[in-house]
């Protein structure tokens, strides 16, 4: 399939820290308009994989092609066209929401920043938060601001690491609905790392199950559930996690 | 049309490369720090406090020494000018390192590292902030010195511009070294940002000539641009002569230290990407 149809292609991605292999020869691709779920327990290698895709971490081996470019050699050719949201980073706490987003709009070179910010302000219901310091917002409000930052450049590839962690069910549901609508309109490729099985089941057309740095299974959620003879993706996840415990 | 149905957002000029795009990204980081300074009067106060205090103390020392020292009597502003030039080095380095630390403390480094901002653009923005913070700190002290003691650093004339450039460039080189260390070992090294300049103080010949130092230490001293600057300052204030050779020496050494500092920073940045430290450094 062409680079345009498969904006994210990963082949044999590996990361070793000394003797420890955090990610072991992982391969996958994400098509335009597709949401791929990255599922796994703590230490499965999800965040390490996303960090490599973003260029925050250099792989030990493997290739990453993002929007047709070699992400390891030429990451700056694509960084303006992708974006991410992660609980491991934050925006300056003392700056107001508006100030933070204005800065990132300038960093990403938005040609009509004011209009884009006004749109996001309305779409993500940020009006009441606009002049408040980012550090004084609740977890749910901060997630909305973080999402606004991630969508500022209308990315062609969006990487989301635990986007609904620490959100109440209502806010989490609102966020998922919003993401679904945005992706339908945008046709972006989304890679979603999450512990939340219901979320993955709802948003993702395909799932990679990771364990100890390896992809141990993959497929559409319904197919995985059927193959493991279970009722939910959570039960599939537990089967895989407990296989580890039994092997140990 | 709503954001959900809008067409793809194009980057400036269809690309994010070129001098214009670089300047825009540098200005974005500068704007971030300008917002911080604007919204925090304690930060602004702290910037001005120490240079003012230093200048007041050394001003009174000068007034006392004027009564007992013929050297001081011949160039009354020599101590106060030395203090103010030293503050350029200290405030410049601190301004660079603190601006970097602000990103680490706020866990914003990851956001910047995956934005189109290049590492050299990040360094350039830290240099701009260092310059801004230095001017905010040192200018009020320089003006107060004129008002209080009739001692003007501006009496150095045009060479003052050269001295300023030589000192601020050296402060950036030191700042890059500090940031490189923080990238490698984490926030445990942040106190180095406050200490590093003082290691240079004894051999920089701020208040005494290089010739006062032991022979072997003089060799060390002449390897620093600071010694050349302060010797040049004394040549103007005591002998009334401008020494272009000293300024040239300072600039050449600056170029060397700046190259070393930038190399250290970029290497540490690369190692941080290899080890996955960019996301962990603020924790």
Distance, in Å, from the CA atom of A161 to the CA atom of A159, rounded to the nearest integer, reads: 7
- Helix H segments across A88-138? 97-107, 113-123
Q: Is A91 within 8 Å of B32 when comparing Cβ atoms?
A: no
Nearest to B1 by CA among A154, A53, A45, A4: A154
- Which tokens go with A21? 């292999």
The better pLDDT of the pair A166, B263 is held by B263
Enumerate the residues of chain B whose CB falls inside 8 A of the CB of residue A123: 2-4
Q: Quote the pTM value.
A: 0.89
Q: What are phi and psi of B205, to 5 degrees?
A: 55, 50
Minimum-distance CB partner of B11 among A93, A109, A182: A109
Inter-residue contact B13 to B22 (CB < 8 Å): no
Residue corresponding to tokens 């971030």: B32
And the tokens for B265?
Answer: 């920073």
Contact (Cβ atoms closer than 8 angstroms) between residue A72 and residue B274: no
Cβ of A246: how many Cβ atoms within 10 Å?
Answer: 6
Q: Is the pLDDT of residue A171 over 90?
A: no
Which strands make up the sheet holding A214-219, listed edge to edge?
A82-85, A157-161, A189-194, A35-40, A206-211, A214-219
Reduce the secondary structure of B91-106 to three states and give it as a string. HHHHHHHHHHHHHHHC
Question: For A139-154, what is the mean pLDDT?
Answer: 90
What pLDDT shows up at residue A246?
52
* CB count in 10 Å sphere of residue A82: 25
Given a contact cutoff of 8 angstroms between Cβ atoms, the answer to whether B265 and B179 are in contact is yes
Strands (E) across chain A are located at 8-17, 20-30, 35-40, 61-66, 69-70, 82-85, 157-161, 189-194, 206-211, 214-219
Q: Chains A and B: how many Cβ contacts under 8 Å? A: 137
Contacts of B273 in chain A (CB under 8 A): 55-58
For chain A, how big is the Rg over CA atoms in Å?
18
Domain extents in chain A: 8-90+157-247
Nearest CA in chain B to A115: B3
Pick the closest to residue B88 from B34, B139, B44 (CA basis).
B139
Token pair recorded at residue A121 = 């302000």
Domain ranges of chain B: 17-275
Instruction: Supply the pLDDT for residue B5.
Output: 44
Is the Cβ pair A119, B2 closer than 8 Å? yes
The model's pLDDT over A77-123, given as tens digits with 9 standing for 90+, comes to 999 999 998 877 888 889 999 999 999 999 999 888 999 999 999 98
In chain B, which residues have their Cβ closer than 8 Å to the Cβ of A79? 16, 114-116
User: A191 forms bridges with which residues in the sheet?
Assistant: A36, A159
Nearest CB to A58; choose among B25, B28, B274: B274
**Contact present, B256 and B87 (Cβ < 8 Å):** no
| pLDDT score of A86 | 84
Condensed to tens digits (0 to 9), the pLDDT of residues B40-70 reads 888 888 889 988 998 888 888 888 887 887 7
Beta carbons of A125 and A144 less than 8 angstroms apart: yes
> Regarding the domain with residue range A8-90+157-247, which homologous superfamily does it belong to in the CATH classification?
P-loop containing nucleotide triphosphate hydrolases (3.40.50.300)
Are B12 and A111 an interchain contact pair (Cβ–Cβ within 8 Å)? yes
Q: What is the largest CA-CA distance in chain A?
A: 56
Alpha-carbon distance A216 to A26, whole Å?
10
Give, in degrees to the nearest 5, the angle at Cα B182 between B180 and B187.
Answer: 175
Neighbour tally for B254: CB within 10 Å: 24
pLDDT in tens, chain B (283 residues): 334 444 455 454 445 778 889 999 999 999 999 999 987 888 888 889 988 998 888 888 888 887 887 776 666 688 889 999 999 999 999 999 999 999 999 888 988 999 999 999 999 999 999 999 999 999 999 998 888 877 788 888 889 999 999 999 999 999 999 999 999 988 888 888 889 899 999 999 999 999 999 999 999 999 999 999 999 999 999 889 999 999 999 999 999 999 999 999 999 999 999 998 887 776 5
Residues of chain B contacting residue A93, judged by C-beta atoms under 8 Å apart: 106
Side-chain-side CA neighbours of residue A32 (13 Å):
14
* In contact, B35 and A95? CB cutoff 8 Å: yes
């Amino acid at each position: 399939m062409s680079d345009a149809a498969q904006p994210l292609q990963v082949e044999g991605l590996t990361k070793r820290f000394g003797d420890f292999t955090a990610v072991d020869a992982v391969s996958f691709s994400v098509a335009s308009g597709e949401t791929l779920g990255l599922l796994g327990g703590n230490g499965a290698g999800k965040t390490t994989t996303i960090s490599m895709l973003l260029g925050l971490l250099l792989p030990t081996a493997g290739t990453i092609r993002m929007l047709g470019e070699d992400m390891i050699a030429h990451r700056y050719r694509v960084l303006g066209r992708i974006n991410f949201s992660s609980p491991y980073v934050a925006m300056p706490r003392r700056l107001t929401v508006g100030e933070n987003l204005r800065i990132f709009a300038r960093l990403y070179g938005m040609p009509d920043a004011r209009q884009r910010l006004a749109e996001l302000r309305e779409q993500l219901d940020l009006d009441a938060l606009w002049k408040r310091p980012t550090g004084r917002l609740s977890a749910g409000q901060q997630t909305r601001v973080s999402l606004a930052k991630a969508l500022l450049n209308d990315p062609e590839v969006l990487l989301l690491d635990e986007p609904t962690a620490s959100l109440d069910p209502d806010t989490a549901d609102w966020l998922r609905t919003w993401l679904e609508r945005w992706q339908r309109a945008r046709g972006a490729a989304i890679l979603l790392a999450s512990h939340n099985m219901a979320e993955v089941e709802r948003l993702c057309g395909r799932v990679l199950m990771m364990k100890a740095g390896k992809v141990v299974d993959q497929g559409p959620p319904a197919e995985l559930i059927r193959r493991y003879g279970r009722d939910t993706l959570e039960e599939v996840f537990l089967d895989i996690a407990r296989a580890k415990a039994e092997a140990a | 049309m709503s954001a959900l149905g809008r067409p793809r957002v194009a980057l400036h000029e269809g690309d994010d490369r070129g001098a214009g795009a670089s300047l825009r990204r540098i200005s974005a980081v500068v704007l971030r720090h300008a917002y911080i300074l604007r919204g925090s009067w304690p930060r602004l106060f702290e910037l001005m406090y120490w240079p003012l205090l230093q200048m007041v103390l050394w001003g009174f020392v000068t007034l006392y020494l004027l009564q007992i020292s013929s050297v001081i009597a011949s160039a009354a502003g020599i101590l106060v000018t030395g203090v103010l030039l030293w503050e350029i080095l200290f405030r410049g380095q601190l301004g660079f390192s603190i601006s970097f630390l602000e990103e680490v403390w706020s866990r914003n480094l990851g956001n910047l590292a995956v934005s189109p901002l290049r590492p050299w653009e990040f360094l350039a923005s830290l240099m701009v902030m260092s310059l801004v913070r230095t001017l905010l700190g040192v200018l009020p002290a320089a003006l107060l010195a004129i008002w209080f003691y009739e001692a003007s650093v501006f009496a150095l004339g045009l060479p003052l511009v050269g001295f300023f450039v030589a000192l601020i460039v050296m402060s950036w080189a030191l700042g890059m070294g500090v940031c490189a260390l923080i990238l490698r070992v984490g926030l445990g090294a942040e106190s180095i940002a406050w200490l590093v300049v003082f290691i240079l103080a004894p051999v920089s010949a701020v208040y005494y000539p290089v010739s006062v130092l032991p022979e072997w230490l003089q060799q060390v001293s002449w390897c620093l641009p600071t010694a050349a600057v302060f010797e040049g300052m004394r040549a103007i204030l005591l002998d009334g002569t401008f020494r272009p050779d000293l300024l040239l020496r300072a600039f050449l050494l600056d170029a060397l230290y700046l190259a070393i500092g930038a190399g250290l920073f970029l290497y540490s940045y690369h190692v941080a990407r290899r080890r996955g430290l960019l996301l962990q450094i603020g924790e």
